[in-house]
Amino acid sequence: MRNANAKRLFKESFRFLLEREPNTSILRSFHITDISRYFPNTNLEIRRRLARWASTRPAVPGIMTQTLFALTPLP
């Protein structure tokens, strides 16, 4: 379950980037938290996308369906 969430986080983060700049402009290597330095609304937008994705997944009995995603360290 956790691995699927991490994959979705990266997928949505790259979709976010590709909607804003050409693929040739994206750095070859970067930490995912660096995105918010260039695009201040990143965290809000990615959380919105992930919440929408999570709401469409079928619930599995006995497994927590709420997941916390953070692109920046939590206090």
pLDDT for residue 60:
53
C-beta separation of 45 from 69 below 8 A: no
Q: Tell me the pLDDT tens digit for each residue of 19-67.
A: 999 999 988 888 888 898 999 888 889 888 888 887 777 655 544 444 4
- Tell me the pTM: 0.67
